[in-house]
């Protein structure tokens, strides 16, 4: 029952944290300044010992507002005892500072067996419980391969710390795609022991030294690996991973001396990312208004809109004139040709518009009014002569037609006479069909006679 509670506790503490390893060789009088510099870019520090040179590194981390993964060195009994005592004191003095206690570091790689490491893990847990400390998880740090090959060790650990170095790998994946190699190996341990228990406790790439096997050692390669690592940890879900390490250690030999992100503890080799602030919640987007559906097009042809013609007043009949819309040539009526109001003289290709205007009533000609009547009784307008009937004409009819022809000629002569006497023209404002394009001028006298 205690194990699940501890696992949940460490997972809650480590979410969104980033960490860096701090070598015990550096644990001297510069610890305080080192931790302050670390805090500018990281949230936590991992130590290999807890009591170094008279200093409790838990207290130093708390002073710098850093979390700490406290280490217990198990290869020396004296150091082991001091570390356990410092951890008990540090947890009591600074509750909430210690993320986890890691017992040992890669002992299985250096000749120890799983049973020996298990005994040390159980001894440290017993010391914490004896001092009333039950909320801090206890585990061990080994390589990924050693943990996979020794599941009994993982079984006694609250947290499983794995060190994974593609730099030391020889597979094509490690050489060509080191971050993919890191991810693949990390996920293999997660699959074996559970994501909440597995923590990445070391990975890194040296900036200088003689190459170890196929992987290339260079400043650019190290920087690329670190940048890829930070991108991977942001999405992999690894809780508070630790990068190896804070500073170069010149006491070591070869490339081992150049894993640091800083050369001197004052300047970074390349800038680690600043811890990201907690993002503000994104407001829910306002849904776009749903457009009204477009009505289906009507297949029926709409009825044409026709303006009702103006009713002709019964008291005074307006004068109508006609003009086809072709051009503005002046229309000269041919001999015997007159444009009749309502007559069927429309050119088949002409477009006509008819309007009406009230003009002074002409002097009526009663004797000719009957001529303006069609057989159907409808008023058709001013008319000069009817087309000869299709029925055989009688002598009387011929005489009548002759008389009417004389009258028509006299009317035409009178119209011409009056035209030259006075030009009281009425400008046509009514357009009716005709045989050709024209501008028609009709005098009062001509209309009156007709």
Express each pLDDT in 245-285 by its tens digit.
999 998 999 999 999 999 999 999 987 666 555 444 454 55
Instruction: Place 427 in a pLDDT band, splitting at 50, 70 and 90.
Output: very low
Express each pLDDT in 13-25 by its tens digit.
445 799 999 998 8
Give buried/exposed letters for 319-350 (b at 16+ CB in 10 A, else e): bbbbbbeeeeeebeeeeeebbbbbbebeeeeb
pLDDT (average), residues 232-247: 90
Asked whether residue 101 carries a pLDDT value surpassing 90, the answer given is yes
pLDDT at res. 415: 59
Give buried/exposed letters for 29-40 (b at 16+ CB in 10 A, else e): eebeebbebbbe
Asked whether residue 353 carries a pLDDT value surpassing 70, the answer given is no
pLDDT (average), residues 204-219: 89
Express each pLDDT in 174-207 by its tens digit.
889 999 999 999 999 999 999 999 999 999 999 9
Asked whether residue 5 carries a pLDDT value surpassing 90, the answer given is no
pLDDT at res. 237: 65
Task: Please give the Cα distance from 112 to 122 (Å, whole number).
Answer: 16
pLDDT at res. 25: 83
CA-based angle 148:17:152, to the nearest 5?
A: 20
Q: 3-state DSSP: the chain helix, strand, coil percent, rounded to 5? A: 35, 10, 50
Express each pLDDT in 131-172 by its tens digit.
999 999 999 999 999 999 999 999 999 999 999 999 999 888
Closest by Cα among 160, 133, 123, 128 to 144: 160
Closest by Cα among 53, 46, 51, 57 to 17: 46
Chain centroid, CA 151 distance in Å: 48
Q: Residue 29 carries which DSSP code?
A: T
Express each pLDDT in 107-116 by its tens digit.
999 999 999 9
Who's near 63: CB < 8 A, 6+ residues apart? Answer: 32, 35
C-beta separation of 46 from 23 below 8 A: no
pLDDT (average), residues 390-405: 51
Instruction: Place 212 in a pLDDT band, splitting at 50, 70 and 90.
Output: confident
pLDDT at res. 6: 54
Task: Please give the Cα distance from 385 to 404 (Å, whole number).
Answer: 8
**In the numeric block, which tokens belong to residue 399?**
């005489």
Express each pLDDT in 293-319 by its tens digit.
554 444 444 444 444 444 444 443 333
Closest by Cα among 105, 259, 81 to 168: 259
For the ranges 62-76, 188-202, 215-229, 371-385, the lowest mean pLDDT is seen at 371-385
pLDDT at res. 303: 45
The DSSP string of 344-383 is S---TT-------B--PPPPP-HHHHGGGB-TT--B----
Average pLDDT, the chain: 73
**End-to-end alpha-carbon separation of the chain, Å?**
124
Asked whether residue 376 carries a pLDDT value surpassing 60, the answer given is no
Quick count: other Cβ atoms within 10 Å of Cβ 20? Answer: 24
For the ranges 93-97, 138-142, 416-420, the lowest mean pLDDT is seen at 416-420
Task: Please give the Cα distance from 419 to 447 (Å, whole number).
Answer: 12
Task: Please give the Cα distance from 189 to 182 (Å, whole number).
Answer: 11
Asked whether residue 287 carries a pLDDT value surpassing 60, the answer given is no
The two counts, helices (H) then strands (E), for the chain are 13, 12
Task: Please give the Cα distance from 174 to 122 (Å, whole number).
Answer: 35
Pairing of strands 242-243, 19-22: parallel
pLDDT (average), residues 363-378: 39
Express each pLDDT in 27-83 by its tens digit.
777 999 999 999 999 999 999 999 999 999 999 999 999 999 999 999 999 999 999
Highest mean pLDDT among 192-196, 303-307, 402-406, 423-427: 192-196
For the chain, domains (ranges, CATH) are 2-258 (3.20.20.80), 315-384+399-450 (no CATH)
Would you say the C-alpha torsion 159, 49, 247, 275 has a positive or negative sign? positive
pLDDT at res. 289: 52
Q: Where are the beta strands (DSSP E) in 148-192?
A: 159-163
Instruction: Place 290 in a pLDDT band, splitting at 50, 70 and 90.
Output: low
Asked whether residue 96 carries a pLDDT value surpassing 90, the answer given is yes
pLDDT at res. 349: 38
């Amino acid at each position: 029952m205690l194990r699940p509670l501890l696992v949940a506790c460490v997972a809650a503490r480590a979410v969104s944290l980033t960490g860096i390893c701090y070598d015990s060789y550096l644990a001297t009088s510069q610890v305080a300044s080192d931790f302050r510099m670390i805090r500018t870019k990281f949230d936590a520090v991992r130590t290999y010992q807890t009591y170094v040179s008279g200093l409790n590194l838990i207290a130093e981390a708390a002073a710098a507002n850093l979390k700490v993964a406290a280490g217990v060195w198990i290869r020396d009994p004296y150091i082991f005892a001091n570390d356990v005592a410092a951890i008990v004191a540090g947890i009591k003095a600074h509750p909430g500072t210690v993320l986890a206690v890691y017992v040992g570091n890669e002992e299985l790689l250096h000749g120890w067996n799983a049973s020996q490491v298990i005994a040390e893990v159980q001894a440290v847990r017993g010391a914490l419980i004896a001092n009333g400390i039950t909320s801090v998880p206890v585990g061990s740090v080994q390589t990924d391969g050693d943990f996979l090959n020794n599941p009994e060790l993982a079984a006694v650990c609250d947290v499983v710390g794995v060190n994974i170095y593609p730099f030391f790998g020889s597979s094509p994946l490690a050489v060509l795609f080191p971050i993919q190699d890191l991810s693949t190996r990390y996920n293999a341990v997660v699959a074996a022991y559970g994501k909440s228990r597995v923590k990445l406790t070391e990975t890194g790439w040296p900036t200088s030294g003689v190459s170890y096997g196929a992987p290339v050692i260079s400043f650019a390669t190290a920087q690329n690996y670190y940048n890829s690592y930070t991108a991977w940890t942001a999405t992999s879900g690894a809780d508070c991973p630790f990068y190896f390490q804070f500073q170069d250690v010149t006491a070591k030999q070869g490339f081992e001396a150049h894993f640091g992100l800083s050369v001197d503890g004052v300047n970074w080799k390349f800038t680690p990312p600043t811890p990201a602030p907690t993002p503000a919640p994104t407001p829910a987007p306002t849904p776009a208004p749903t457009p009204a559906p477009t009505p289906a097009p009507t297949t029926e042809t709409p009825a044409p809109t026709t303006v009702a013609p103006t009713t002709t007043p019964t008291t005074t009949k307006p004068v109508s004139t006609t003009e086809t819309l072709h051009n503005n040539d002046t229309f000269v009526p041919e001999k015997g040709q007159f444009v009749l109001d309502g007559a069927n003289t429309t050119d088949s290709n002409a477009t006509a518009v008819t309007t009406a205007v009230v003009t002074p009533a002409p002097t009526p000609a009663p004797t000719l009014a009957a001529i303006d009547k069609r057989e159907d009784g409808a008023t058709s307008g001013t008319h000069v002569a009817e087309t000869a009937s299709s029925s055989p004409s009688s002598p009387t009819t011929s005489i009548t037609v002759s008389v009417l022809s004389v009258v028509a000629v006299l009317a035409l002569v009178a119209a011409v006479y009056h035209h030259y006497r006075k030009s009281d023209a009425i400008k046509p404002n009514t357009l009716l069909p005709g045989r050709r394009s024209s501008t028609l001028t009709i005098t009062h006298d001509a209309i009156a006679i007709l």
